[in-house]
């Protein structure tokens, strides 16, 4: 412990680690965000409410057993820098940390009573460029807490979609149609319960398209968990 603290102080002296939310220097080994920011995190507690806004987002669009997000992003929220750090600076420790946080929330609920976790896939070109899939990193964090295996060889993204920023909800939905495909060898999905994981849910069109694709192979239940909803 003393050695770890000493090593942390030494490496921290040369490469100080900062809280990605408030920018203060982190004081403890292994800390990803500071304690104050962890306590002030805008958690939703949606996991306890089956009629929460994220679950409602999918009503009439795709059948889900449950849907939840760890936190809610208000406009300009400093906590968005967590997702930014993971996606664009490749800080996987942030993804693992957030995955573990949501894993702890899911553990005592039916969300953890699933057969495997399926991360929302990136387009292969995008993943190659980024070097990793952020949803897979979050899924690994959930696995560390729940022990539910992560399957990244079931759901695939077929084609490169145009950037969605300037499209309305209907256009986005249109745009996602036929984007995903599954490899359901030996009926691996049949009668299975699946937890679909993504970083952020906004319109829900990507997750809806994923769930609709998975439904074709007869799973008995699909749950959705994301780090944030906007």
Query: Which positions touch Zn ion (CB under 5 A)?
Result: 19, 21-22, 34, 37
Helix (H, G, I), strand (E, B) or coil at 194: strand
Looking at the Cβ atoms of 19 and 197, the one nearer to Zn ion is: 19
Measured from the CB of residue 203, what is the shortest distance to Zn ion in angstroms? 30
Which phi and psi angles does 198 have, rounded to 5°? -140, 170
Task: Please give the C-alpha separations between residue 117 and each of 88, 103, 107, 146, 159, in angstroms, as whole numbers.
Answer: 23, 11, 13, 10, 23
Nearest residue (CB) to Zn ion, 101 versus 150:
101
Please list, in sequence order, all residues whose beta carbon lies within 8 angstroms of the beta carbon of residue 147, skipping any fewer than 6 positions away. Answer: none
Distances (CA, A) of 24 to 6, 112, 130: 20, 34, 27
Closest separation in Å from C-beta 211 to Zn ion: 34
CB of 36 to Zn ion, least distance (A): 6
**Number of C-beta neighbours around residue 5 at 10 A:** 12
How many C-beta atoms surround the C-beta of residue 202 within 10 A?
16
By beta-carbon proximity to Zn ion, the closer residue of 38 and 113 is 38
Residue number with CB closer to Zn ion (23 or 124)? 23
Nearest to 58 by CA among 174, 227, 225: 225
Q: Least distance from C-beta 171 to Zn ion, angstroms? A: 38
Min CB(44)–Zn ion separation in Å: 20
Smallest distance, Å, CB 34 to Zn ion? 3
Contacts of 225 (CB under 8 A, 6+ apart): 67, 68, 69, 70, 102, 106, 111, 142, 195, 196, 197
């Amino acid at each position: 412990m003393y050695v770890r603290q000493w090593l942390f102080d030494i490496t921290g002296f040369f490469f100080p680690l900062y809280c990605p939310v408030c920018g203060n220097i982190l004081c403890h080994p292994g800390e990803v965000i500071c304690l104050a920011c962890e306590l002030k995190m805008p958690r939703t507690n949606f996991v306890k409410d089956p009629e929460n806004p994220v679950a409602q987002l999918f009503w009439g669009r795709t059948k889900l057993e449950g849907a939840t997000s760890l936190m809610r992003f208000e406009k300009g929220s400093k906590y968005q820098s967590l997702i930014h750090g993971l996606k664009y600076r490749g800080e996987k420790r942030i993804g693992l940390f957030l995955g573990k946080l949501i894993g702890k929330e899911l553990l005592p609920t039916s969300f953890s009573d699933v057969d495997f976790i399926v991360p929302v896939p990136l387009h292969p070109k995008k993943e190659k460029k980024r070097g990793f899939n952020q949803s897979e990193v979050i899924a690994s964090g959930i696995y560390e807490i729940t022990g539910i295996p992560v399957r990244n060889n079931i759901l695939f993204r077929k084609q490169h979609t145009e950037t969605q920023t300037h499209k309305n909800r209907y256009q986005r939905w249109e745009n996602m149609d036929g984007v995903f495909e599954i490899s359901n060898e030996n009926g691996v999905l049949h009668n299975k319960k699946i937890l679909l994981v993504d970083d952020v849910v906004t319109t829900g069109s990507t997750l809806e398209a994923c769930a609709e694709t998975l439904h074709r192979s007869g799973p008995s239940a699909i749950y959705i968990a994301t780090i944030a909803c906007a």
